[in-house]
């Protein structure tokens, strides 16, 4: 399959995506969250999240839409700031996971032999260890903080992608168009990058959205263990604070953080479903 | 296929466990014996002085050559003798055994209910594919899996156990049927959280099958949609479904961490959490090794089952 | 149609199971009096030599007893004999302590004894207990209590460090059972806190038969002399059940009390224990604990010091809703201090007194108290809390009062006007919501004068490790008293192993105030030198330790009765 037909499939897929209202809504959500994240990162909005603007634990009202937290900080602003944190976590973790997964999967599938055996052994070993243990262990090495979160989550989410890529590369390796390229004297690198990879990009896209939402959900668990984001609000911290706040009747941080998180996770889940329906060659044409 | 080829396949796959275990032990050794640093400071706490630290290190065997320490870990992976917990000085193996039984009383009902519900829901969705029911069901299950488990626990305990009084707030009693009132709510939460991903997967599997040629042939022959679904599609979809089911089991056991903590259930999840909070390395190592072993064994079982159920796949 | 029937059958089965279970749950009129309590953390086994944390102490003291205890109702704390018949005679050189034990004290009835009947406690049991504490093979982490303090004990321990078996029959000169009821300790040097050490759980009496019978499982089968017994216990359990000890010796509720506890004397002279059974639930999460309490499934619960501002108190009283249910509030000032420590070994703090003082004055104590404790706590002026001799109620630490203007001025004098030039400081806290929020509060206070703080969360063992290795800049920690001697607090700051400890200036003789007469002056001396010119610590508050009681059972009209009970056992 050459470049041109690959591209037309992409365009087709994108167009079919737009047809479904649900998918459209999901797309809108993802875009708005990304926009909020960028604006917050640039400091244009939510830079004053640490400011006490009201009394402690004020319930939602006309002035404070989502209420205030223990210090009187605006929950709305905190949620927007947390959106930035979440989107960054999701994005960077996905990039890390995809980089490792594609690299190792392609190498394993393409070169086969001892290289393949080693890589398979490596990820089988990692897969056998429960995620929680890996996360704890990684923090021994990496310490605390946002970088540790990125790396730890990235390291625990690349295996599935790696397996899929490896499988696909193996399938494509012996196809005719690759043999043709070899006959023409193409190097390994060229064959991999220019010919095989474009045909497996759909897997990467689908996995991207899958890993994104897993990363966001994992952050909540990391916060529970004390390994999460520090020095910035995050949905995980707000939800975990509810463990003691709910007993005091303070429900607004929990509810609004959950809704905010749930919307983006839902959007990504939906998108990845639709993308798979649109791009997966097996399901295409239904 | 012949019994011999199946047998040799199993042996071959099982033998693959060994390099994995070696790798797992290597990783564990690297992390806990090298990177994590000297645990005696943590154990002795505020009364640590160099003399006592040295004595403790000697008692715990931490001053032996690194290779011997690694071999110890490797040996424990095969003998299941993990020594004693640093926090409670209990023997770890019986501790984990008891914890596993307790977790199973929670996990098995949740797992069974999830599987049955997931398959039924996916079937329904596949039957009515494209229509409102299909879309609705998928959206519903995805919504359920988009909410963090912590939220379910916090609200669930507060509303259903406390405010409405339908279930126990927390606690556990050993023995059947005494434990039942205590596991209902936590099991339900586990179901809600895990249903979504299964439904989506099974639905895809069913749909994949339904677009196969033989299904079109069956329909052409005049079989009702219902019969097609139950007689053909379900049977052929069993392979990937069973695969998916079996491989989940080890993950379920450890996924109960939060639920057990909030509902006071003395299972594996609770043990893990306590071990993490106490820096109880032997227990953490033991749980990691056991999870790895069970994961690998279940992978093998899955592969074997897959080949047994689906005659189209060859053993390679 | 067939499916409908199948479903119908399932529903009927499920329904009957449901009713069966519900019926089993129906509360039966209790013939026995049961106390329901909660513990906030897993119990690390009930072997006295291993007991270290507060929650395990609470449980262990129901079952085990020691030579001495504290008078339940008198303040300041007073030592009284417990298993000892009277206070010990001490030799003039302060090295020899001779105890006479109570006669007729029995260990719990237990299968480890012949005929299952508990035998009488003798002085040999204490000798045995102390040997276990020092046994190198048992690796008791509480050995520091007697380390280098009892004559011959350390030498005995050293001899068996590498041996296969430890010989308990060996005689230790400092640990002698003169006769059946006479116990004599000989110390290596004067140790004024020795009597306090004897009140702590690791020094409690254990039965040799139990240790030998249960071997490695001894921690799960406690056999003591205390008012309650546990049949069997598994550290993994989320529930422990205690039964009244039928052979408990005659012990009565005290008849004297300090002024603030005089109202409890209604029970004076009554025989202990008051209840027949205690059930302790172990729940590490706040929510299930409180939900159970509100539902009446737990009788007594403490507002943990970390979450003291729950909406159940208003102006130091219970909210009406709970009062209506019959709950009662009991509050006592906790002998503890919540504080932030500057690591003086760190170059930033080492010689920069003004910096530390500036930060201390920028801390808004009153607001902190309001936010986290509903105003119920007391702002600390020094590290010493009230209730300990040496505490001076009139002392006001000049660097402790919230004064933003002065703080900014001192900061400039320290060389960092408006915080310029000062790198980001790290504050280490424990991993939990409240500790983090308190850390954030500190951040905000420092922000007001231009200092940037970065928070780092740690699980407790990690924090301890960082403190021990002096790897912190600032850390937040709470210290509750172990024994009623000011030294217990001062040793946190002054000593060879404290972060930035005045290592070079560490004076052995000054660290352990020797004579009772003298030590009061010593503390003041020590204290004064710290209080006036150095703010090595930044004290925050002495939190109140508040108990709730929820007397739903008829026998308790005065809920404080139950609290009383628990504290008597806790000594």
Residue C228 scores a pLDDT above 60: yes
Between the alpha carbon of residue C340 and those of residues A165, C360, C428, C450, C470, the distances in Å are: 52, 10, 9, 19, 14
Contact A220 B211 (CB under 8 A): no
Q: Phi, psi (5° rounding) for residue C295?
A: -85, -5
Report the alpha-carbon distance of residue B242 to residue B249 in Å, rounded.
11
Q: Which residues contact C122 (CB under 8 A, 6 or more apart)?
A: C101, C177, C180, C181
Tell me if A70 sits within 8 A of A57, measured CB to CB. Answer: yes
Q: Does C435 touch chain B (CB under 8 A)?
A: no
Q: Does A190 touch chain C (CB under 8 A)?
A: no
Sheet holding C182-186, edge to edge: C89-90, C96-100, C182-186, C175-179
- Of the candidates C237, C239, C291, the beta carbon closest to that of B162 is on C291
Contact C444 A241 (CB under 8 A): no
Highest mean pLDDT, choosing among A30-39, C18-27, C321-330, C454-463: A30-39
Quickly state the pLDDT bin for C8 (edges 50, 70, 90): low
Six token digits for residue A167: 């499988």
Q: Which residues contact A142 (CB under 8 A, 6 or more apart)?
A: A148, A151, A152
Tell me if C21 sits within 8 A of B181, measured CB to CB. Answer: yes
Report the alpha-carbon distance of residue B300 to residue B63 in Å, rounded.
38
| pLDDT tens by residue, C95-141 | 999 999 999 999 999 999 988 888 999 999 999 999 999 998 887 88
Residue B80 scores a pLDDT above 70: yes
B170 alpha carbon, distance to own chain's centre: 22
| Interface residues of chain A, partner chain B, Cβ below 8 Å | 22, 121-122, 124-130, 132-133, 136-137, 140-141, 213, 217, 220-221, 224-225, 239-240, 242-243, 246, 254, 258, 261-262, 265-266, 269-270, 273, 282-283, 286
Helices A75-111 and A21-41 sit at what angle, rounded to 10 degrees? 110
Report the alpha-carbon distance of residue B197 to residue B174 in Å, rounded.
32
Helix (H, G, I), strand (E, B) or coil at B222: coil
| pLDDT tens by residue, C10-20 | 777 776 666 66
Contact B146 A266 (CB under 8 A): yes
Q: Is the peptide bond before C273 cis (omega within 30 degrees of 0)?
A: yes
Contact A239 B143 (CB under 8 A): no
Residue C498 scores a pLDDT above 50: no
pLDDT of residue B315: 47
pLDDT of residue C20: 61
Mean pLDDT across chain A = 84
Q: What is the block-wise mean pLDDT of chain A (286 residues), using blocks of 10 residues?
A: 62 70 87 92 86 86 87 91 93 94 89 89 88 82 83 90 87 78 76 75 84 90 85 90 83 92 89 76 50
Nearest residue in chain C measured CA to CA from A50: C444
Tell me if C244 sits within 8 A of C275, measured CB to CB. Answer: yes
Top pLDDT among C498 and C78 is at: C78
- Of the candidates B56, B181, B277, the beta carbon closest to that of C21 is on B181
Report the alpha-carbon distance of residue A86 to residue A36 in Å, rounded.
11
Query: Which chain B residues are closer than 8 Å to C293 by Cβ?
Result: none
pLDDT of residue C547: 33
pLDDT of residue C126: 94
pLDDT of residue B69: 85
Quickly state the pLDDT bin for C550 (edges 50, 70, 90): very low
Six token digits for residue C266: 């209604």
Report the alpha-carbon distance of residue A239 to residue A257 in Å, rounded.
7
Query: Which chain A residues are closer than 8 Å to B272 by Cβ?
Result: 132
Quickly state the pLDDT bin for C495 (edges 50, 70, 90): very low
DSSP string for C363-428: S-HHHHHHHHHTT-SEE-SSSPPTTSTT--TT---TTTS--HHHHHHHHHHTT-GGGTTPPPEEEE
Tell me if C358 sits within 8 A of C552, measured CB to CB. Answer: no
Q: Does B145 touch chain A (CB under 8 A)?
A: yes
Quickly state the pLDDT bin for C546 (edges 50, 70, 90): very low
Could you tell me which of C318, C324, C274 has the C-alpha nearest to residue C556?
C274
pLDDT of residue A281: 59
Contact B279 C235 (CB under 8 A): no
pLDDT of residue B45: 67
Quickly state the pLDDT bin for C6 (edges 50, 70, 90): low
DSSP string for C253-322: --S---GGGGGGGGGTTPBSP--SEEEEEE--SHHHHHHHHHTTS-SEEEE-GGGTT-TTEETTEE-HHH
Q: Which residues contact A172 (CB under 8 A, 6 or more apart)?
A: A178, A195, A196, A199, A200
DSSP state of A232: S
Could you tell me which of C455, C465, C466 has the C-alpha nearest to residue C432?
C455
Contact C459 B279 (CB under 8 A): yes
pLDDT of residue A143: 77
Tell me if A50 sits within 8 A of A73, measured CB to CB. Answer: yes
Query: Which chain A residues are closer than 8 Å to B36 by Cβ?
Result: 140
**Chain C, window 339-368: residues with a beta carbon less than 8 angstroms from a chain B beta carbon:** none
| pLDDT tens by residue, C395-404 | 777 777 888 8
- Ranges A66-80, A151-165, C66-80, C484-498: which has the least confidence: C484-498
Query: Which chain B residues are closer than 8 Å to C22 by Cβ?
Result: 181
DSSP state of A59: P
Report the alpha-carbon distance of residue A111 to residue A120 in Å, rounded.
12
Mean pLDDT across chain C = 76
Q: Does C412 touch chain A (CB under 8 A)?
A: no
Contact A71 C286 (CB under 8 A): no
Nearest-CA distance from C236 to chain A in Å? 20
Q: How many CA atoms, within 13 angstroms, populate the side-chain half-sphere of residue B204?
A: 15
Same fold, C10-261 and C336-542: no
pLDDT of residue C162: 78
What does the angle CA C192 – CA C194 – CA C196 come to, to the nearest 5 degrees?
100
Region C327-336 average pLDDT: 69
- In Å, the largest CA–CA distance within chain C is 96
pLDDT of residue A21: 79
DSSP string for C220-244: GS---SSSEEES---TT-SEEEEEE
Residue C187 scores a pLDDT above 90: yes
Region C256-279 average pLDDT: 83
| pLDDT tens by residue, C460-481 | 878 877 887 778 888 888 777 7
Residue B5 scores a pLDDT above 80: no
Q: Which residues contact B310 (CB under 8 A, 6 or more apart)?
A: B236, B238, B239
Could you tell me which of B215, B257, B260 has the C-alpha nearest to residue B234?
B215
Each residue of C285-309: b (16+ CB within 10 Å) or e?
bbbbbbbbbbbbbbbbbbbbbbbbb
Six token digits for residue B93: 């193996």
Report the alpha-carbon distance of residue C303 to residue C291 in Å, rounded.
13
Report the alpha-carbon distance of residue B78 to residue B80 in Å, rounded.
6
- Ranges A199-208, B57-66, B219-228, C383-392: which has the least confidence: C383-392
Report the alpha-carbon distance of residue C487 to residue C519 in Å, rounded.
9
Contact A128 B20 (CB under 8 A): yes
Cβ atoms within 10 Å of C549's Cβ, excluding its own: 22
Q: Which CATH architecture has domain C336-542?
A: Roll (3.10)
Contact B158 A246 (CB under 8 A): yes
Region C349-371 average pLDDT: 83
Q: Which chains touch B (3 or more CB pairs under 8 A)?
A: A, C
What does the angle CA A160 – CA A163 – CA A167 come to, to the nearest 5 degrees?
145
Each residue of A171-194: b (16+ CB within 10 Å) or e?
ebbeeeebeebeeeeeeeeebbee
R_g over Cα of chain B? 24
Residue C211 scores a pLDDT above 90: yes
Report the alpha-carbon distance of residue B210 to residue B204 in Å, rounded.
10
**For chain C, what are the domain ranges?**
10-261, 285-333+545-570, 336-542
Report the alpha-carbon distance of residue B166 to residue C496 in Å, rounded.
57
Contact B169 C220 (CB under 8 A): no
Report the alpha-carbon distance of residue A141 to residue A151 in Å, rounded.
11
pLDDT of residue C509: 33
Top pLDDT among C23 and C70 is at: C70
| pLDDT tens by residue, C281-295 | 988 888 888 888 888
Report the alpha-carbon distance of residue C380 to residue C395 in Å, rounded.
10
Six token digits for residue C569: 């056992």
- Candidate CATH numbers 3.40.50.1580, 3.30.70.20, 3.40.190.10, 3.40.50.10890; the one for domain C10-261: 3.40.190.10
pLDDT of residue C491: 66
pLDDT of residue B82: 86
Task: Please name the residue that has the structure tokens 């254990």.
Answer: C206
Report the alpha-carbon distance of residue B86 to residue A199 in Å, rounded.
52
- Of the candidates A231, A240, A249, the beta carbon closest to that of C433 is on A240
pLDDT of residue C300: 80
Query: Which chain B residues are closer than 8 Å to C466 by Cβ?
Result: none
What's the pTM value of the predicted model, to 2 decimals?
A: 0.82
Task: Please name the residue that has the structure tokens 């960054």.
Answer: A88
Quickly state the pLDDT bin for C555 (edges 50, 70, 90): very low
Q: Which chains touch A (3 or more CB pairs under 8 A)?
A: B, C
Report the alpha-carbon distance of residue B29 to residue A182 in Å, rounded.
44
Tell me if C553 sits within 8 A of C30, measured CB to CB. Answer: yes
Report the alpha-carbon distance of residue B282 to residue C86 in Å, rounded.
45
Helices A146-155 and A131-142 sit at what angle, rounded to 10 degrees? 140
Q: Distance between terminal CA atoms of chain A? A: 21
* Chain B interface disruption, residue of A86, A90, A128, most B CBs within 10 A: A128
Q: Phi, psi (5° rounding) for residue A74?
A: -70, 125
Query: Which chain B residues are closer than 8 Å to A130 by Cβ?
Result: 250-251, 254, 287-288, 291
What does the angle CA C28 – CA C30 – CA C32 come to, to the nearest 5 degrees?
155
**Chain C, window 262-301: residues with a beta carbon less than 8 angstroms from a chain B beta carbon:** 281-285, 287-288, 291-292, 294-295, 297
Top pLDDT among B208 and A279 is at: B208
Contact A128 B292 (CB under 8 A): yes
């Amino acid at each position: 399959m050459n470049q041109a037909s690959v591209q037309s499939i992409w365009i087709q897929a994108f167009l079919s995506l737009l047809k479904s209202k649900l998918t459209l809504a999901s797309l809108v959500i993802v875009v708005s969250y990304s926009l909020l994240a960028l604006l917050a990162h640039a400091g244009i909005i939510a830079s004053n999240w640490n400011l006490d603007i009201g009394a402690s634990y004020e319930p939602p009202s006309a002035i404070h839409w989502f209420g205030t937290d223990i210090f009187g900080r605006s929950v709305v602003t905190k949620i927007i700031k947390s959106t930035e944190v979440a989107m960054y976590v999701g994005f960077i973790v996905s990039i890390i996971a995809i980089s490792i997964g594609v690299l190792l999967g392609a190498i394993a599938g393409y070169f086969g032999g001892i290289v393949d055996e080693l890589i398979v052994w490596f990820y089988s070993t990692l897969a056998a260890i429960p995620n929680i243990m890996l996360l704890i262990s990684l923090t021994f090495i990496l310490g605390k903080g946002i970088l540790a979160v990125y790396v730890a989550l990235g390291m625990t989410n690349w295996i599935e992608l790696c397996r899929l890529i490896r499988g696909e590369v193996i399938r494509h390796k012996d196809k005719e168009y690759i043999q043709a390229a070899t006959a023409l004297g193409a190097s390994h690198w060229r064959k991999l990058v220019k010919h095989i990879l474009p045909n497996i990009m759909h897997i990467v896209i689908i996995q991207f959205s899958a890993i994104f939402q897993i990363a966001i959900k994992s952050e909540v668990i990391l916060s529970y263990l004390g390994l999460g984001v520090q020095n910035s609000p995050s949905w995980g911290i707000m939800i975990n604070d509810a463990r003691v706040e709910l007993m005091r009747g303070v429900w607004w941080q929990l509810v609004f953080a959950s809704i905010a998180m749930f919307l983006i996770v839902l959007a990504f889940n939906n998108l990845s479903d639709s993308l798979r329906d649109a791009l997966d060659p097996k399901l295409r044409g239904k | 296929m012949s019994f011999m080829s199946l047998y040799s396949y199993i042996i071959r796959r099982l033998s693959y466990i060994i390099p994995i275990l070696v790798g797992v032990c290597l990783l564990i050794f690297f992390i806990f014996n090298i990177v994590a640093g000297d645990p005696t400071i943590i154990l002795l706490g505020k009364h640590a002085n160099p003399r006592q630290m040295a004595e403790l290190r000697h008692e715990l065997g931490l001053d032996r050559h690194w290779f011997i320490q690694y071999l110890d870990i490797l040996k424990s992976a095969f003998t299941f003798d993990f020594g004693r917990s640093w926090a409670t000085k209990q023997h770890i193996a019986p501790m984990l055994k008891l914890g596993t039984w307790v977790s199973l009383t929670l996990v098995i009902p949740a797992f069974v209910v999830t599987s049955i519900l997931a398959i039924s829901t996916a079937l329904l969705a596949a039957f009515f594919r494209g229509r409102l029911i299909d879309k609705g069901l998928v959206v519903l299950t995805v919504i359920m899996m988009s909410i963090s488990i912590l939220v379910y626990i916090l609200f669930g305990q507060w509303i259903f156990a406390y405010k409405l009084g339908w279930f126990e707030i927390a606690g556990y009693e050993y023995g059947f049927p005494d434990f039942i009132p205590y596991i209902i709510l936590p099991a339900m939460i586990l179901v809600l959280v895990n249903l979504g991903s299964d439904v989506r997967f099974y639905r895809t599997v069913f749909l994949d099958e339904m677009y196969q040629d033989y299904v079109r042939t069956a329909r052409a022959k005049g079989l009702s949609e219902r019969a097609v679904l139950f007689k053909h599609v379900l049977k052929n979809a069993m392979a990937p479904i069973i695969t998916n089911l079996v491989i989940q089991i080890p993950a379920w056991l450890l996924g109960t961490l939060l639920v057990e903590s909030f509902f006071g259930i003395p299972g594996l999840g609770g043990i893990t959490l306590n071990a993490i909070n106490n820096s109880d390395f032997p227990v953490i190592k033991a749980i990691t090794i056991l999870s790895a072993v069970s994961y690998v064994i279940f992978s093998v079982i899955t592969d074997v089952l897959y080949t047994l159920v689906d005659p189209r796949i060859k053993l390679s | 149609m067939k499916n409908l029937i199948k479903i119908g059958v399932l529903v009927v089965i499920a329904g009957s199971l449901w009713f069966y279970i519900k019926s089993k749950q129906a509360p039966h009129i209790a013939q026995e009096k049961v106390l329901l309590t909660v513990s906030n953390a897993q119990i690390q086994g009930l072997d006295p030599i291993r007991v270290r944390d507060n929650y395990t102490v609470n449980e262990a003291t129901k079952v085990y007893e020691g030579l001495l205890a504290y008078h339940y109702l008198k303040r300041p704390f007073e030592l009284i004999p417990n298993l000892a018949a009277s206070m010990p005679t001490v030799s003039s050189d302060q090295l020899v302590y001779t105890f006479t034990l109570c006669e007729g004290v029995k260990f719990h009835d237990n299968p480890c004894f012949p005929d299952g009947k508990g035998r009488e406690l003798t002085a040999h049991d204490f000798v045995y207990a102390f040997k276990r504490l020092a046994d190198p093979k048992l690796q008791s982490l509480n050995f520091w209590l007697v380390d280098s303090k009892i004559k011959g004990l350390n030498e005995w321990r050293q001899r068996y460090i590498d041996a296969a078996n430890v010989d308990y029959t060996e005689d230790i000169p400092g640990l002698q059972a003169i006769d059946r009821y006479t116990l004599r300790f000989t110390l290596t040097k004067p140790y004024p806190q020795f009597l306090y050490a004897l009140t702590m759980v690791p020094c409690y009496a254990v039965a040799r038969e139990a240790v030998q019978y249960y071997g490695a499982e001894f921690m799960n089968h406690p056999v003591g002399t205390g008012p309650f017994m546990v049949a069997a216990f598994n550290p993994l359990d989320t529930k422990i059940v205690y039964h009244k000890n039928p052979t408990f010796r005659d012990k009565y509720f005290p008849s004297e009390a300090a002024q603030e506890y005089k109202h409890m004397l209604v029970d004076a002279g009554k025989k202990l224990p008051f209840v027949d059974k205690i059930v302790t639930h172990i729940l590490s999460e706040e929510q299930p604990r409180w939900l159970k309490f509100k539902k009446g499934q737990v009788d007594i619960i403490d507002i943990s010091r970390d979450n003291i501002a729950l909406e159940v108190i208003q102006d130091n009283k219970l909210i009406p809703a709970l009062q209506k249910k019959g709950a009662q509030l009991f509050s006592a000032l906790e002998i503890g201090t919540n504080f932030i420590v500057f690591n003086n070994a760190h170059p930033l703090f080492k010689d920069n007194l003004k910096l530390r003082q500036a930060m201390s004055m920028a801390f808004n104590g009153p607001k902190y108290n309001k936010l986290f404790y509903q105003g119920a706590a007391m702002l600390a002026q020094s590290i010493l809390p009230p209730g300990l001799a040496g505490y001076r109620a009139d002392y006001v630490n000049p660097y402790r009062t919230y004064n933003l203007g002065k703080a900014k001025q001192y900061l400039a004098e320290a060389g960092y006007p408006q915080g310029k030039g000062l790198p980001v400081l790290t504050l280490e806290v424990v991993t939990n919501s409240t500790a983090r929020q308190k850390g954030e509060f500190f951040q905000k206070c420092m922000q007001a004068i231009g200092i940037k703080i970065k928070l780092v969360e740690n699980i407790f063992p990690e924090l301890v490790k960082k403190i021990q290795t002096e790897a912190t800049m600032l850390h937040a920690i709470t210290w509750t008293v172990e024994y009623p001697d000011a030294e217990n607090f001062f040793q946190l700051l002054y000593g060879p192993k404290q972060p930035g400890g005045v290592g070079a200036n560490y004076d052995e003789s000054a660290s352990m105030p020797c004579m009772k007469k003298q030590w009061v002056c010593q503390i003041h001396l020590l204290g004064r030198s710290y209080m006036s010119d150095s703010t090595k610590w930044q004290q925050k508050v002495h939190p109140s330790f508040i108990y709730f009681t929820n007397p739903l059972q008829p026998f308790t009209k005065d809920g404080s009765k139950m609290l009383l009970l628990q504290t008597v056992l806790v000594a």
